[in-house]
């Protein structure tokens, strides 16, 4: 299903179009057409690719060009008598890029993706630091860092750099790094080997596995008796590994699947426990400090005890507070020192720097007060030990609540992963297909082509085809569609879905990382890694936020200190037992600790993570922040017709014969030509022709010199006759006369929304086949709702104008473009963008891929082709147009939440910093003690995360539920 990166797939579609165009040019041109593959350096985004493409296409003699910016490659089809390679290279260089010809016809750069676990990132500044380090490495094309997931996804050239170098680079800046996956089509499995006691047995294990075809990497951990195998599931599987290891001579290994890898959950729980432990210790030590400083001083008896002098003016209270606050500052608070060190080492500053500066200022000033009291018989000063200790305690409380809340943002992925059953029933069949044995195995041991038994109520163990039985399967957990789907022999089933009644035998077709469930999980994880463009706003602010706060804090302190020294405010303003320096210091520390860069950094990723997770549960897979951001701004939707607005399974409704043509002969020649085409109309004609044959799978006459002409039809030689099957324009292009009788028939067919396919035998129209493709239920209502949402609907189709007009009129679409070739669809999308629209394209076929890529948001119907799904930004799993509305509505809700988060985060800082600086003090005597300022800072981050979690209560528009009721024929009283 999802096999190649988006731009690779789109380039594949464009390359296919180039090839087809090459066959469509006249014979003279075809003999002189040439193809060049050019390596282009300097492209960083799709806009660069468009610039390169435009620089090439304006040249004379260019037939077509496809540009792949991820792999730095352009493929050009041109006429050498009008242009040459040097001119093409010069044009690309004039556009600002470096270009060299690839003589072997392949690109000089490959692309791989690896994912790395990054532990220890505390805030947005940390993730930005990791991202900048990775992207600065030679050979890295791009890097995405997910703070909440604690993951890095790196796109790189494996010929230049590798995953181990990324891990070393991350560790060098102070974070722990562990590889998760290397490559996109590799599955990893952990096996536990009992009996592997020495180096000799370890060597035998490694050598035995490395010789096996399909195994990419073997990693052995002797301390845990664990072997980690990276393999390609389309070639080999884990059962084979176990058989190989247990059959090693002279060894007696017992091999099992290593207990389920819950490392991430265990680590998350460990992190929560660690935060909780620190919070408890900090509270236990800080509360007595607070009580001795702020409460017990007003209780007779206790106050006298605390005021007992030990050395000069140093009293018992000083000693107690100093002893209790020191472990809080340097042991419990050590995490802030480490975080500050990491940040400052890279020349940046984060929240840890603010906390460290603020608490150190309070603590060391307090130490100075105590030491001066111990050396002076008359000095009477106030310490701030409660400020430093309570400040750390409240920040730890905020971090504890934050980590609890953040853990809930990725619930959707956890639920998806747990859909796969733990065990499966493996069937052994004889040569006649009879079951001779059943065995229960771990579902991780299923290999391609295994036959699995699925009992009623059980989850389907893997993607596959039904080879025996009939049942209803509930696919709602994957597609969001609650209605059970009937499954019979030959039907596809999806791993993780629930078999409701009958027994099924399925043949596994996609296992491991290739399964639909794994790909959905990977897609959702990748989407949560990808930053939305709006995140750049927070990243930009974060660079300057902490230095600015430190500057404001210093200015606050110096302003109040000078005001006190210069007697700019009366002494009555000073609190008891505090001088002007101490008052100024408290204001400065409060400013330093109340500012919260974390809230800004969490505003976008938390909402995005919850939003994409909710979308996945609704059957709407959103590929990252960019798709989510642009979807909420969509003002115009372009719909393909066949398979999108219509069901996509056309049926033949009428055949008109001309002259003395015999029906069976016409259908045989037509089917023999069309059987080579993948177009839905072609398949409908072939299926109709089968009805006139006695055998179920007839052998059609051989079609020679077959040519497919995109947007028009097909040509071939069958039984020494020239057969042309296609639309009216194809006939006219071949100078084939269309009788008046046929013209009238075409008009009538188009008026009934039927597609008319003309069949010419030896350059004479011999018949017309009319095909009808019914509308999908609820299509008209969906268009109506979009209109109410102020989203313009347009239909672009390769079908004729008559059929297009009829369909558009039926569903309520006013603007249509018919008889459009694939490249024309993309051009129309670009024209709409030029007119100021944010455009979404909804399609399902290969010919929609260029338009899906060109659109701001490409939406692929889930039942569409692999290429369409890869080219799209959003995949609608249910093959239901209602989800177009769900996608737009959910994105609007998500971005409303992101805006609210930003308003809260920015508003909090804009309001809190002046209050902490003492703007209310002259008029109200209100001041914010530093420890309360710390509590407010912690609360701001928690509030942003909780705000994002509210998205979990998302419900799609009620109007969509009304459509469901109408479609199911339910009467509501």
* 930-966 confidence digits (pLDDT tens): 778 777 777 777 788 888 888 888 888 877 766 665 5
Question: For residue 454, which phi and psi values (nearest 5 degrees)?
Answer: -115, 115
What average pLDDT does the segment 9-21 reach?
39
Sheet with 112-119: strands ordered across: 140-146, 151-156, 112-119, 176-182
> How crowded is the C-beta side of 534, counted as CA atoms within 13 Å?
24
Other CB atoms within 10 A of residue 733 CB: 15
d(CA 855, CA 869): 14
d(CA 358, CA 931): 10
Q: At what angle do helices 801-811 and 740-751 cross, to 10 degrees?
A: 20
* 465-486 confidence digits (pLDDT tens): 999 888 888 876 665 455 678 8
**Pairing assessment for the beta strands 98-101 and 34-41 based on DSSP bridges:** antiparallel
d(CA 917, CA 930): 11
Question: How confident is the model at residue 369, as a pLDDT?
Answer: 84
Lowest mean pLDDT among 179-188, 278-287, 774-783: 179-188
| The pLDDT of residue 46 is above 70 | no
* 759-796 confidence digits (pLDDT tens): 999 989 999 999 887 888 888 888 989 998 899 999 98
d(CA 352, CA 333): 10
| The pLDDT of residue 233 is above 80 | no
Average pLDDT in the chain: 79
Predicted TM-score (pTM) of this structure: 0.60
Q: For residue 501, give every residue at least 6 positions away whose Cβ sits within 8 Å of its Cβ, in sequence order, or none.
A: 456, 471, 472
* 892-918 confidence digits (pLDDT tens): 999 889 888 888 888 888 888 899 899
Q: Residue 722 forms beta bridges with which residues?
A: 717
3 state DSSP class of 709: strand
| The pLDDT of residue 6 is above 60 | no
* 830-840 confidence digits (pLDDT tens): 889 888 899 99
- The answer to whether the beta carbons of residues 134 and 102 sit under 8 Å apart is no
Q: With pLDDT > 70 as the criterion, what percentage of the chain qualifies?
A: 83
Residue 640 a catalytic site member: yes
Q: With pLDDT > 90 as the criterion, what percentage of the chain qualifies?
A: 10
C-alpha pair distances (Å), 229 with each of 213, 215, 220, 232, 278? 12, 7, 9, 10, 38
Concatenating the DSSP letter of every residue in 52-107 gives HHHHHHTSTTEEEEEEETTTTEEEEEE-TTT--HHHHHHHHHHTT-EEEE-TTSS-
What average pLDDT does the segment 487-513 reach?
85
Which stretch of DSSP H or E encloses residue 38?
A: strand 34-41
Question: How confident is the model at residue 971, as a pLDDT?
Answer: 33
Which of 64, 640, 773, 856 is catalytic? The answer is 640
Q: How confident is the model at residue 288 (pLDDT cuts 50, 70, 90)?
A: very high
Q: How confident is the model at residue 228 (pLDDT cuts 50, 70, 90)?
A: confident
Question: How confident is the model at residue 477, as a pLDDT?
Answer: 62
d(CA 687, CA 706): 20
Question: How confident is the model at residue 637, as a pLDDT?
Answer: 93
C-alpha pair distances (Å), 281 with each of 78, 351, 360? 74, 22, 19
What average pLDDT does the segment 364-368 reach?
87
Concatenating the DSSP letter of every residue in 901-953 gives HHHHHHHHHHHHHHHHHTTTHHHH-----HHHHHHHHHHHHHHHHHHHHGGGG
Between the ranges 133-142, 715-724, 954-963, where is the mean pLDDT highest?
Answer: 715-724
C-alpha pair distances (Å), 835 with each of 282, 813, 815, 824? 60, 19, 15, 16
Terminus-to-terminus CA distance in the chain, angstroms? 43
| The pLDDT of residue 556 is above 50 | yes
Concatenating the DSSP letter of every residue in 567-614 gives T-S-GGGSPTT--HHHHHHHHHHHHHHH--HHHHHHHHHHHHHHHHHH
- The answer to whether the beta carbons of residues 881 and 781 sit under 8 Å apart is no
In a 10 Å sphere around its CB, with 0-12 CB exposed, 13-18 middle and 19+ buried, how is residue 234 labelled? Answer: middle
**Torsional class of 55: left (φ above 0), alpha (ψ -120 to 50), beta (otherwise):** alpha
- The answer to whether the beta carbons of residues 840 and 637 sit under 8 Å apart is yes
Between the ranges 194-208, 246-260, 663-677, where is the mean pLDDT highest?
Answer: 663-677
d(CA 281, CA 329): 12
Q: How confident is the model at residue 330 (pLDDT cuts 50, 70, 90)?
A: very high
d(CA 734, CA 324): 94
What average pLDDT does the segment 610-621 reach?
82
| The pLDDT of residue 316 is above 80 | yes
Question: How confident is the model at residue 628, as a pLDDT?
Answer: 82
Between the ranges 3-17, 408-422, 550-564, where is the mean pLDDT highest?
Answer: 550-564
Question: How confident is the model at residue 968, as a pLDDT?
Answer: 53
d(CA 885, CA 643): 17
Question: How confident is the model at residue 189, as a pLDDT?
Answer: 79
| The pLDDT of residue 320 is above 90 | yes
Quick one: tokens of 553?
A: 């804090």
* 807-847 confidence digits (pLDDT tens): 888 889 988 888 887 778 888 888 898 888 999 998 876 56
Question: How confident is the model at residue 973, as a pLDDT?
Answer: 29
> Could you tell me how many residues make up the chain?
973
* 491-503 confidence digits (pLDDT tens): 888 888 888 888 8
Question: How confident is the model at residue 323, as a pLDDT?
Answer: 93
| The pLDDT of residue 757 is above 60 | yes
Question: How confident is the model at residue 319, as a pLDDT?
Answer: 92
Q: How confident is the model at residue 401 (pLDDT cuts 50, 70, 90)?
A: confident
Question: How confident is the model at residue 206, as a pLDDT?
Answer: 84
* 442-461 confidence digits (pLDDT tens): 887 888 888 999 988 888 88
Which tops the pLDDT comparison, 471 or 349?
Answer: 471
Q: How confident is the model at residue 17 (pLDDT cuts 50, 70, 90)?
A: very low
Question: How confident is the model at residue 326, as a pLDDT?
Answer: 94
């Amino acid at each position: 299903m999802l096999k190649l990166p988006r731009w690779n797939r789109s380039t594949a579609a464009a390359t296919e179009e180039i090839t087809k165009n090459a066959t469509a040019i006249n014979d003279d041109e075809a003999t002189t057409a040439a193809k060049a593959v050019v390596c282009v350096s300097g492209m960083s985004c799709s806009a660069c690719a468009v610039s390169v493409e435009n620089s090439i296409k304006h040249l004379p003699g260019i037939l077509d060009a496809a540009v792949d910016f991820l792999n730095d490659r352009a493929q050009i089809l041109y006429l050498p008598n009008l242009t040459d390679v040097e001119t093409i290279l010069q044009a690309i260089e004039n556009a600002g890029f470096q270009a060299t010809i690839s003589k072997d016809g392949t690109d000089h750069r490959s692309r791989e993706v690896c994912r790395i676990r990054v532990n220890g990132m505390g805030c947005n500044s940390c993730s930005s630091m990791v991202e900048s380090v990775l992207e600065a490495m030679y050979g890295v094309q791009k890097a995405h860092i997910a703070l909440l997931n604690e993951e890095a996804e790196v796109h790189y050239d494996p010929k230049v750099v590798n995953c181990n170098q990324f891990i070393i680079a991350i560790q060098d800046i102070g974070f722990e790094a562990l590889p998760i996956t290397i490559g996109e089509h590799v599955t990893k499995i952990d096996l536990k080997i009992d009996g592997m006691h020495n180096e000799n047995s370890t060597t035998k294990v490694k050598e035995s596995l490395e010789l096996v075809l399909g195994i990419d990497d073997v990693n052995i951990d002797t301390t845990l008796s664990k072997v980690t195998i990276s393999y390609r599931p389309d070639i080999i599987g884990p059962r084979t590994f176990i058989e190989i290891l247990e059959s090693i001579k002279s060894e007696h290994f017992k091999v099992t699947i290593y207990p389920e890898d819950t490392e991430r959950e265990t680590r998350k729980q460990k992190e929560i426990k660690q935060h909780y432990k620190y919070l408890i210790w900090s509270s236990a030590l800080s509360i007595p400090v607070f009580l001795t400083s702020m409460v017990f001083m007003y209780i007779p008896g206790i106050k006298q005890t605390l005021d007992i002098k030990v050395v000069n003016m140093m009293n018992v209270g000083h000693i107690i507070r100093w002893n209790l606050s020191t472990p809080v500052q340097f042991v419990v608070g050590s995490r802030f020192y480490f975080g500050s060190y990491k940040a400052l080492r890279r020349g940046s500053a984060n929240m840890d720097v603010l906390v460290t500066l603020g608490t150190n200022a309070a603590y060391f000033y307090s130490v100075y007060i105590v030491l001066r009291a111990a050396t002076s018989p008359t000095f009477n000063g106030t310490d701030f030990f409660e400020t430093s200790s309570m400040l750390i305690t409240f920040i730890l409380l905020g971090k504890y609540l934050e980590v609890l809340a953040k853990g809930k943002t990725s619930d959707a992925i956890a639920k998806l992963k747990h859909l796969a059953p733990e065990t499966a029933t493996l069937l052994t069949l004889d040569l006649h297909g009879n079951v001779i044995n059943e065995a229960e195995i771990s579902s991780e041991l299923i290999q391609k082509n295994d036959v699995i038994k699925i009992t009623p109520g059980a989850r389907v163990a893997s993607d596959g085809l039904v080879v025996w039985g009939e049942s209803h399967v509930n696919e709602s957990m994957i597609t969001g569609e609650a209605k059970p789907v009937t499954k019979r022999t030959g039907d596809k089933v999806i791993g993780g879905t629930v078999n409701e009644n009958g027994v099924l035998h399925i043949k596994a077709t996609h296992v491991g990382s290739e399964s639909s469930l794994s790909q959905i999980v990977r897609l959702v994880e990748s989407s949560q890694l990808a930053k939305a463009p709006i995140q750049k706003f927070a990243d930009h602010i974060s660079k300057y936020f902490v230095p600015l706060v430190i500057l404001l804090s210093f200015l606050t302190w110096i302003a109040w200190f000078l005001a006190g020294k210069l007697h700019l405010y009366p002494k009555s303003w000073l609190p008891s037992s505090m001088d002007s320096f101490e008052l100024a210091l408290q204001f400065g520390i409060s400013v330093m600790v109340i500012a919260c860069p974390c809230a800004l950094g969490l505003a976008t990723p938390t909402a995005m993570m919850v939003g994409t997770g909710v979308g996945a549960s609704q059957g709407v897979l959103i590929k990252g922040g960019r798709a989510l951001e642009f979807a909420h701004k969509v003002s115009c939707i372009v719909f393909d017709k066949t398979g999108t607005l219509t069901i996509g399974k056309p049926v033949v409704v009428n055949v008109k014969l001309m002259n003395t043509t015999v029906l069976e002969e016409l259908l045989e020649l037509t089917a023999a030509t069309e059987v080579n085409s993948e177009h839905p109309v072609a398949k409908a004609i072939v299926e109709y022709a089968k009805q006139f044959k006695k055998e179920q799978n007839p052998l059609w006459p051989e079609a020679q010199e077959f040519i497919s002409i995109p947007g028009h039809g097909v040509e071939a030689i069958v039984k020494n006759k020239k057969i042309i099957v296609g639309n009216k324009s194809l006939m006219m292009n071949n100078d084939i006369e269309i009788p008046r009788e046929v013209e009238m028939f075409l008009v009538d067919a188009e008026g009934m929304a039927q597609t008319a396919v003309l069949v010419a035998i030896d350059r004479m129209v011999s018949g017309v086949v009319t095909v009808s493709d019914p509308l999908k239920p609820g299509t008209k209502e969906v268009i109506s709702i979009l209109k109410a949402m102020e989203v313009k609907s347009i239909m672009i189709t390769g079908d004729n104008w008559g059929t297009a007009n009829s369909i558009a009129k039926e569903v309520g679409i006013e603007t249509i473009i018919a008889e459009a070739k694939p490249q024309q669809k993309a051009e129309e999308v670009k024209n709409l963008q030029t007119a100021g629209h944010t455009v979404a394209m909804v399609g399902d076929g290969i010919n929609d891929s260029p338009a899906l890529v060109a659109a701001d948001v490409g939406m692929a119907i889930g039942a569409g082709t692999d290429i369409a799904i890869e080219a799209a930004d959003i995949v609608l799993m249910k093959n239901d147009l209602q989800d177009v509305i769900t996608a737009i509505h959910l994105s609007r809700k998500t971005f409303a939440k992101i805006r609210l988060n930003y308003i809260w985060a920015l508003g909090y800082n804009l309001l809190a910093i002046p209050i902490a600086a003492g703007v209310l003090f002259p008029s109200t005597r209100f001041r914010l003690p530093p420890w309360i300022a710390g509590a407010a800072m912690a609360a701001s981050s928690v509030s942003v995360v909780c705000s994002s979690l509210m998205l979990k209560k998302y419900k799609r528009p009620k109007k969509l539920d009304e459509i469901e009721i109408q479609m199911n024929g339910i009467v509501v009283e």
